[in-house]
Structure 1
Amino acid sequence: MPLFLADTPAAVQPPTVVVTAERAPEQRERTAASVSIVDSKRLDRLGEPLLSNVLRLLPSVAVATSGPAGSITEVRIRGAEANQTLLFIDGIRANDPAAGNVPRFELVGADLADRIELVRGPQSALWGSEAIGGVIALSSDAGASPQLSVEGGSFGFARAGGRTNVTQGNVSASVAGGVQRATGIDSFGAPGGDKDGYANLALRTRVEWRPSDQLTFAATSFGVSGRSAYDGYKDFVHADTADVTRNRLGAIGVNADWREGGWQVTASASILASRNRNLLAGDFVNQTAGERRSVGFQLARELTTGAVHHRFILAGDADKERFTASDAVYSGATGQRRSRAHEALTAEWRAEAGPLTTDMAVRRDAFNRFKDATTFRGSALLSLGRGWALTGSYGEGIAQPTFFDLYGFFPDSFVGNPNLKPERSAGWEAGIRYASGPVSVRATIYRQRLHDEIVDVFLPTFQSTTANATGTSKRAGLELEGEWQLSPTLRLAANYAYLKASERRDALDRPVQELRRPKHSGSLVLDGQKQRWTYGASLALVGDRRDTDFDVFPARTLTLKGYWLAGARIGYQLNKRVQLFGRVANAFDRTYQDVVGYRTEGASVDAGLRIGLR
């Protein structure tokens, strides 16, 4: 996504910096990685309450929500599984260890981020486990405009939130948060069914102290809390039930950074905790809880030898995870108390020599529950002149088995497999780019292979378990992206992605199309500002997908029809501080499903008020 400021001439734009494509921040045009960025202006102008709706607009991102807004939301990048996406929030690893190591996008409101960064492709050589499909980083921006806002509209939707920042001498602080709720719709659609709504609360803070130009200390935190009603299963069949899930996820992190004469030393530590509690008609059913304690250290050195500029990085990371589970339905039979630990060492070398930039990284992960793993990544960018560049990279990824995959137990349906191995992925990509003034275009092809994929296996006892597949799953695709600053008051971004993703559980099986992944997807996004008006609009294409219907026996695989999803927001500045705005979602009133059996909302209209604090 473009980062041009809509009210600033393109010729004076500052360089766009990415933070997860390498172990140190780098200018976007000087990294070979496939990166998409959404800045605070675009987030404000689109006005989406949940960030999953913004992620849907990025290349090769498939979003599947099991019902109306606030329901379980899976995000898949380049055909990877939902737990093969790594999420950072203000630099803290945020995948939930108590919920299958997936990012909890159903809880992540737009108030939690001023900026979104997406790096596609395997990145485990830099960031470790779960970075198979890609990495998503949400971050706060001290330059984002302080504001308060309230809005409400269709389906009982209401939202209030804000952000502010302050600087006093060498200390700066920022805080943002918001609350939102909706009564929703009946996701099952039975006559007389109850509505399945949600309520979310999000808060984030950052405090930074710079006692000198060389030294910086920072403390960050975030927390999300949510309640979502959903329709579950009764007698093994999807039904209109009174299920409710209550979720909490929070973290705090600290880091110190010292820079002097080409050297940089960074140390960090964080604690993340989560709890997921399920109820039926108000009665406790089961609960999971997780905790992750992490520490990290990084040493970087920049120097020049002849015509080559080098950057060397050596980083060490360690974490320990805890997982607990309990229930009321099975008299505690599903109870678990598990823990695991791991350490990692990463080395990265980046070199720039005229038009050529190369980057190589290798990482060794040592697990106390699995076999150790080594991953590698190498990339190159060659500038051809006149705005043209060629890129290429090779990367490897791993994903640990989840605690549930290993130890989960439901007497009537599931038993875990403690002998699982981590999933392994490897792949390459190649691209060509053009950027000149207000226009940039990118085309990328990629191919990945997934080994030891963790799949469900059905047992003669009518239970299921998990196992590492002996076959190889294949993912390949094409991405086309364009960005255009039409004028100082309007910017436009468009993308199209083709994906071919097949799963092969056994080496002798025929490959079958992966579920919930459209072959064709894309989006068109525009936003801008002119005098008193601000505006943003989006159009997302989600192509046909395959999914499994478990409400019949035997279960059958069917095709979910593709759809177009349109949204828009327009604001009018009454005076220097006060803005009135209106927003429409699913403007074409499309009837669609992301997951078999779960309905989604039709067209909706909201209106609100935004107050600038400066």
Structure 2
Amino acid sequence: MMDMPPADQPAIVVTASRTADAIGDTPATVTVIDQDRIIRIGAPLIPDLLRLVPSAAVSTSGPAGSLTQVRIRGAEANHTLLFIDGIRANDPAAGNEPRFELLNADIASRIEVVRGPQSALWGSEAIGGVVAVDGTKPGGAKARMTAEYGSFDTLRGAIGGSNGNTEQGLSLAAAGQRSDGVDSFDGTGDRDGYRNVALRGSGRLKLADEVVVGASGFALWEQSQFDGYDPATFLRADTLDESRNRLAAGRLFAEVGDRSKQYLILSGSLLGSSNRNFLADDPINRTSATRRTAALEGGLTTGRHSFVAAIDAEREAFRARDVAYGGFTDQDRTRTHRSVTLAWKMRDLGPVTTDLTVRHDMFDRFKDATSIRAGIMAKLGGGFSAAASYGEGIAQPSFFDLYGFFPGSFVGNPGLKPESSVGGEWSLRYSGHSFGAAVTYYRQRLKDEIVDTFDPDTFLSSTANARGTSKRQGIEAEAAYRPNDAIRVTLTYAWLDASEPQLATGLRLKEQRRPRHSGSIAVDGVSGRLSYGAALSYTGAHIDTNFDVFPADRVNLRSYWLAGGQAAYRVGGPVEVTLRIANAFDSGHQDVVGYRSEGRSVHAGFRVALGR
């Protein structure tokens, strides 16, 4: 999936260097999941597809639609930076984590994942890696519609279309899903389901030769039921908890010039989020936040050399309110930061391509930070190449880590420092006409990791920067085979060794929710009227913490396989009927201790694509 044959993937990636590069010309380790695979596999939510990415550990706290975290290369859940249609989308009202459970796959056209520290390119949170999800773009199908119904009273549908082309046009899409789910507690209580709605749009208008203005935006809503803790016994129980979440953003930009020669881009974006929690329809608390950004980026390409310079400014505002605690948890906080980024890339100096990026972040709440990223790749001949890179990452403490407060339970720590990471990777790659493969070894070190603390005398929890260093190392192996359009096969395997120092003793502990072994097999293709896609992912045994006992205890969760796929048959013209199966092996797996997920399910539907 990385550095694969041109027939296997889109040829161009952007997230790996801030410039458009052929996937075989970047030292970074990149995975791209294209629109054909997204449509053919038919998974309803983006996290199901991220299980196909090496070293991406997906943890869902219950059935579909529940809180979902992704840890790349052993990093923390808030160490993955998410872009949606070019907009920074980590939620400042939810611990700076990406809200992967909100991401409806029905209107996604491409998923790009760059692994390893990328803060020199993209700033805070890019420690484990960067995930970029693109919606439908101008120049795609003129109109598309899908609908499906299946097990657990699951219903999903989507509609969208575009006109124009990649230089000038408009694209709009809407999608919705609902499911009654299963009881996530013990299987005997009420079902915990979800509802979501997603809207996305983008457009470009060419005002003159080499002058373009444009906009993109998205709005995501979700209502998710879950089982929490009994307010009387403080033990986990079959409760009527529910969260209602909203994430919306828009971006405007103006671009002058030619990306292959010289260009200038001025852009601004606004993101807003709202997270509300209820118990039996009674409000408990809510958080909300906004993020305003402005950026100016310029690039110049002369011969083998490309240069990019960028200036960014950001302001975040956080607001917390509660009913259950009489307003004692209320918070109103703001923070700002600016950054300057300089990037250089040299292509085709003989067989060698190299790049260097330096970024300086200026925070109003923390000490300024400088991040570096450097990479080199050499083509060895015969389809083989070797690559190496070094990267640094940073992550700001979340508003909750700094200022959060729950009476008698949690007090934030305003003295926290940002986390920082350094890492290197080395890979050997092969790319042929119909077959490609890569093996990568990486090492990362995280300092000042923000960890939870507990005082047994006061029974208060808080946060602190851990002493010592959290260590992560691993191996990733990938292969892809595509002899023709009828079959495309990709295989991945990842081995991870991740540990952190225990705050009290300094002894090293295995990091939780990070399987030591993981992997996947995915296949898709089209032959005549039939198209299909299937995926099999493996999650090895991993550690989690059981909070149902006092003191909390670490437990082992068993390994599991997840299998699913979809077949579509074109019955006439643009109309196809579909049949999809999820969790085909009926795995009774748990990503998080005590939270059950759905068993096997079957779904049938149809889809229509006009003018593709």
Query: Taking structure 2 as the reference length, what is the TM-score of the superposition?
Result: 0.96
Q: Is contact 2:52-2:519 (8 Å) kept?
A: yes
Higher alpha-carbon deviation: 123-132 or 293-302: 293-302
Q: Is contact 2:236-2:548 (8 Å) kept?
A: yes
Match of 1:76 in 2: 71
1:580 aligns with 2:582: no
Match of 2:126 in 1: 131
CA distance in 1 between counterparts of 2:308 and 2:608 reads: 44
CA distance in 1 between counterparts of 2:7 and 2:355 reads: 28
Give the number of aligned pairs: 604
Match of 1:7 in 2: none
CA distance in 2 between counterparts of 1:502 and 1:171 reads: 49
- Matched residue type, 1:355: P
Q: Is contact 1:391-1:431 (8 Å) kept?
A: yes
Match of 1:238 in 2: 236
Match of 2:13 in 1: 18
Q: 2:412 aligns with which of 401, 404, 416?
A: 416
Change (3 A) 1:366 1:326: same
- Matched residue type, 2:301: E
- Matched residue type, 1:465: S
Q: Is contact 1:111-1:203 (8 Å) kept?
A: no
TM-aligned CA deviation for residue 11 of structure 1: 7.6
Match of 1:407 in 2: 403
- Matched residue type, 2:16: A
Residues 357-390 of structure 1 show CA distances to partners (whole Å, capped at 9, x for unaligned) of: 1100111000001111111011000011111100
Q: Provide the secondary structure at the position in 2 that maps to 1:314.
A: strand
Q: Is contact 1:98-1:289 (8 Å) kept?
A: yes
CA distance in 1 between counterparts of 2:10 and 2:172 reads: 26
Change (3 A) 1:170 1:480: closer
Q: Provide the secondary structure at the position in 2 that maps to 1:370.
A: coil
1:395 aligns with 2:394: no
Please give the residue correspondences for 1:156-175 in structure 2 after superposition, counting only pairs within 5 Å.
Answer: 156-167=153-164, 171-175=168-172
CA distance in 1 between counterparts of 2:363 and 2:399 reads: 14
CA distance in 1 between counterparts of 2:433 and 2:270 reads: 44
Q: Provide the secondary structure at the position in 2 that maps to 1:237.
A: coil
Q: Is contact 1:89-1:138 (8 Å) kept?
A: yes
TM-aligned CA deviation for residue 213 of structure 1: 3.7
CA distance in 2 between counterparts of 1:2 and 1:97 reads: 31
CA distance in 2 between counterparts of 1:13 and 1:226 reads: 34
- Matched residue type, 2:241: D
CA distance in 1 between counterparts of 2:202 and 2:167 reads: 14
Match of 1:544 in 2: 541
1:357 aligns with 2:353: yes
Change (3 A) 1:11 1:245: closer
CA distance in 2 between counterparts of 1:143 and 1:136 reads: 23
Match of 2:379 in 1: 383
CA distance in 1 between counterparts of 2:180 and 2:505 reads: 48
Match of 1:490 in 2: 487
Q: Is contact 1:160-1:180 (8 Å) kept?
A: yes
Q: Provide the secondary structure at the position in 1 that maps to 2:106.
A: helix
Residues 200-239 of structure 1 show CA distances to partners (whole Å, capped at 9, x for unaligned) of: 0001000101123412211001010000000001122111
CA distance in 1 between counterparts of 2:551 and 2:464 reads: 21
Q: Is contact 1:148-1:613 (8 Å) kept?
A: no
Match of 2:298 in 1: 299
TM-aligned CA deviation for residue 168 of structure 1: 8.4
Change (3 A) 1:203 1:187: same
1:512 aligns with 2:501: no
CA distance in 2 between counterparts of 1:197 and 1:213 reads: 51
CA distance in 1 between counterparts of 2:67 and 2:346 reads: 43
1:177 aligns with 2:168: no
TM-aligned CA deviation for residue 594 of structure 1: 0.5
Change (3 A) 1:149 1:359: same
Q: Is contact 1:394-1:429 (8 Å) kept?
A: yes
Q: Is contact 1:170-1:211 (8 Å) kept?
A: no
- Matched residue type, 1:90: D
Match of 1:321 in 2: 316
Please give the residue correspondences for 1:521-540 in structure 2 after superposition, counting only pairs within 5 Å.
Answer: 521-540=518-537
Q: 2:224 aligns with which of 223, 228, 235?
A: 228
Change (3 A) 1:599 1:413: same
CA distance in 1 between counterparts of 2:381 and 2:591 reads: 44
Q: Provide the secondary structure at the position in 1 that maps to 2:37.
A: helix
- Matched residue type, 2:248: G
TM-aligned CA deviation for residue 491 of structure 1: 0.5
- Matched residue type, 1:445: Y
Q: Percent identity?
A: 50
1:474 aligns with 2:471: yes
Structure 2 residue runs of 5 or longer lacking an equivalent are: none
Match of 1:265 in 2: 264
Q: Is contact 1:3-1:38 (8 Å) kept?
A: no
Q: Is contact 1:515-1:547 (8 Å) kept?
A: yes
Q: Provide the secondary structure at the position in 1 that maps to 2:207.
A: coil
Q: Provide the secondary structure at the position in 2 that maps to 1:211.
A: strand
CA distance in 1 between counterparts of 2:10 and 2:146 reads: 30
CA distance in 1 between counterparts of 2:257 and 2:24 reads: 24
CA distance in 2 between counterparts of 1:144 and 1:584 reads: 27
Change (3 A) 1:539 1:362: same
Query: Taking structure 1 as the reference length, what is the TM-score of the superposition?
Result: 0.96
Higher alpha-carbon deviation: 373-382 or 260-269: 260-269
CA distance in 2 between counterparts of 1:555 and 1:149 reads: 46
1:108 aligns with 2:108: no
TM-aligned CA deviation for residue 265 of structure 1: 0.7
CA distance in 1 between counterparts of 2:386 and 2:292 reads: 40
TM-aligned CA deviation for residue 505 of structure 1: 3.7
Structure 1 residue runs of 5 or longer lacking an equivalent are: 5-9
CA distance in 2 between counterparts of 1:3 and 1:159 reads: 34
- Matched residue type, 2:145: L
Q: Is contact 2:2-2:29 (8 Å) kept?
A: no
Match of 1:429 in 2: 425
